Amino acid sequence: MTKQSVRLTVNGREREGSAEPRKTLADFLREDLQLTGTHLGCEHGVCGACTIMVDGDAVRSCLLFAVQADGCDILTIEGLEKDGKMHPLQEAMRDCHSFQCGFCTPGFLMTAYAYLQEDHEFSEPEIREELSGNLCRCTGYQSIVAGVQLAAVRLGKRQEGASS
């Protein structure tokens, strides 16, 4: 099958490659750009493990073709750390023991990252609703919800000790 060229910005770097039109963006990131931090849990858009930021929105990279992302600005889990220091969201999730096996982690991080860009209440019920498009099988979600809430506090998005 004929390949088409794909140019995009990933985690602040210009990247270029070529992909068959049928190749998903997730596969392109993982195979062609060796960015294996993005995971594939279902390849049909339900589990959310492959969530990345595309032009500022949280998007499922298994549901986009690489050629559709030509010219886009992409952020993946590998781009959250700056100068060897984890993003406050990552630190909060470590401090809350948010994850176990780590497979769903990139999707939750990117979904939560997008959520934390906006202004919200960051109450427990709201966080649970916002994260409900991502599946985790290990944790029962409690520690992930706690991690996002702690990040919201540390990022100044929520008052410490606010109700619920």
Partner 1 sequence: MRFVGESIPRVEDRRILTGRGKYVDDLTLPKMLHAAFVRSPFAHARIKSIDVSAARATPGVVAVFTGDDMRRFCNPVSTSLAFGVKFPEFYPLTSDKVRFVGDVVAMVVAESRYEAEDGCELVAVDYDQLPAVADYDDAIDPTKPALFDELGDNVVITNAPVSWGDVDAAFAEADRVVSASLRQHRVAPVPMETRGSVADYDASSGELTYYASTQSPHSLRLQLANTLGHPMERFRVLANDVGGGFGLKGSVVREDFCVAAASRELGRPVKWIEDRNEHLIASGQAREEMVQIEMAVKADGTFLGMKAKLIMDAGAYPNVPFVSAMFVGLMQLLMPGPYRMKGYRFESSVISTNKAAYVAYRGPWEMETWVRERLVDIVAHEIGVDAAEIRRKNMMLGAPDDRLITGLTVKGISSRESLDRALEYIDYAGFRKEQEAARAQGRYLGVGFATFIEAAPGPAEMRPGGGMFGGERAKVALQPDGHLVVTTAQAPHGQGHETTLAQVAADEMGVPFEHVRVVHGDTRQTPFSVIGTGGSRASTWATGATIVSTRKLREHVLAIASGMLEISPEDLEIIDGVVTPKGVPQRGLPLAQIAMKALMDPASLPPGTDGPLETHERFTGEGITGSGWSGGTHACTIEVDVATGRVKILRYVVVEDCGRVINPAVVDGQVCGGVAQGIGAVLYERAAYDSEGNFLTSTFMDYLLPTSAEIPHIEIHHLETDPDGAFGFRGVGEGGAVVAPATLTNAIDDALQPFGSRVCDQYLPPATVAEIAGGASA
Where do contacts with partner 1 occur on this chain (CB under 8 A)?
Answer: 20, 22-23, 30-31, 34-44, 46-47, 49, 76-78, 80-81, 86, 90, 93-97, 99-106, 109, 124, 127-129, 131-145
CA nearest to 59, candidates 48, 68, 44: 48
Residue 140 contacts residue 110 (beta carbons within 8 Å): no
**Order of strands, edge to edge, in the sheet holding 73-75?**
13-19, 4-10, 73-75, 51-54, 57-60
**Minimum Å distance from CB 71 to partner 1?**
23
**Minimum Å distance from CB 38 to partner 1?**
7
**Minimum Å distance from CB 90 to partner 1?**
4
Nearer to partner 1 by Cβ, of 55 and 95: the residue is 95
Spatial CB neighbours of 65, under 8 Å, sequence gap ≥ 6:
19, 21, 22, 23, 24, 25
Nearer to partner 1 by Cβ, of 21 and 71: the residue is 21
